[in-house]
Structure 1
Amino acid sequence: MMNILAPSILSADFTILGEQIKETEAAGAQYLHFDVMDGLFVPSISFGLPVLKSIRKASNQVYDVHLMIEEPIRYIEQFAEAGADIITFHVEAASDPREVIDKIHSLGKKAGLAIKPKTPVEAVKSYIEHIDMLLVMTVEPGFGGQKYIDECTDKIREARDLIKEKGLSVDVEIDGGVTMNNINVPLKAGANVIVAGSAVFNGDIQENVRSLMAEFEIV
């Protein structure tokens, strides 16, 4: 499967957000990762629909929206209308994950399902054939700048093995703690969509994107 970099705007400078998004696109980043936090499912509050709608015109990237909110079914339609291409929600946050998946697909969007570091891959096994992407969190969701949790590498491998076993073409995305020094770890374990925040937006954005994506060819 194609390896994809998804810069997370959670680490961007919001005074020049549009410019920085364009820099990630110019350097070749295919996706843009958009973290939505509600202060309930996770302790933090981030940004939501108005921001997504306003930045949708900033680039032609795939807008990868990660909902860290309770009962995401309530907002699927609004995020689809605001410009999301992929909508990912947490299995731990939905009363009926299959209902949410079906809702996302009914709106013509790709559906992703996410698991926190302590949630086993088994929790999404019954949904794996119905989703387009599985997001394995490699930090506790809710805050940027955390260190990659090494124990999550086995979960990435387990997720990829499950997908292969079933003969599916589901992407495995990872989010949290990625740096130039460890990006090869999740890639080798089977992840093919890599979210990176600080590693992209701290310093020279275009150079950071190119350097991170260069690792795709090495692994």
Structure 2
Amino acid sequence: PLDVHLMLDRPQEFLKPFLDAGAHCLTVHVEAEGLRTESVLRSALDTIRRAGARPGLSLRPRTAAEALRPFLDAVDLVLVMTVEPGFGGQAFLPEAVPKVRQLREWFTGDLAVDGGINALTGRQWRSGPRGGGR
């Protein structure tokens, strides 16, 4: 499967090329400049689903989990960034743990984390919803 995470200001401009390339899952950021209104974001998620792919939403470390809540009915995947996007090798931000716990209470779909995960930080996600992950 091709799982695409679009960290772009206007991801809706790139949905069709990635869907045409065979993407099975397309994740966009709730904070994306081009997706600032609920109707535009819902339209992008609907475009992904109508194409037969799984829509996903991601949020940055400083964004509250509440920002995703109105859209959880429209996605199959939530991706929580556990570092600020931009470059690799950053340290895991522990404030992501309670955010993931909160999202797990609201969302029964796939929940993923990205950034700063290693053998030590990974233990926080192995033990199920109480540990942060699934």
TM-score scaled by structure 1? 0.55
Q: Distance in 2 between matches of 1:179 and 1:89?
A: 24
Query: How far has the Cα of 1:184 moved from its partner?
Result: 1.7
2:21 to 71, 82, 93: 82
Q: Distance in 2 between matches of 1:162 and 1:105?
A: 21
Q: Which amino acid aligns with 1:112?
A: G
Aligned-pair CA distance for 1:82? 1.4
Within the candidate set 44, 48, 63, 1:104 is matched to: 48
What is the alpha-carbon root mean square deviation over aligned residues? 1.2
> Contact (CA 8 Å) 1:171, 1:191: kept in 2 or not?
no
Mapping for residues 198-209 of structure 1, pairs under 5 Å: none
Shift of residue 190 of structure 1? 3.9
More helix by share: 1
How far is the alpha carbon of 1:171 from its aligned partner?
Answer: 0.7
Greater relative contact order, per chain length (Cα 8 Å cut-off, separation 6+): 1
- Give TM-score, length-normalised by structure 2: 0.88
Within the alignment, does 1:131 sit opposite 2:75 as a pair?
yes
Residue of 104, 117, 129 corresponding to 2:61 = 117
Question: What is the DSSP-based 3-state SS (H/G/I as helix, E as strand, rest coil) of the residue aligned with 1:174?
Answer: strand
Deviations 1:77-104 (A, max 9, x none): 1111112111000000013211110010
Larger Rg: 1
Please state how far the C-alpha of 1:182 moved relative to its aligned partner: 1.7
Q: Which amino acid aligns with 2:109?
A: V
Contact 2:79 2:113 in 1 (8 A): yes
- Paired AA for residue 80 in structure 1: L
User: Which residue pairs with 1:51 in the alignment?
Assistant: none
What percentage of residue pairs aligned between the two structures are identical? 37
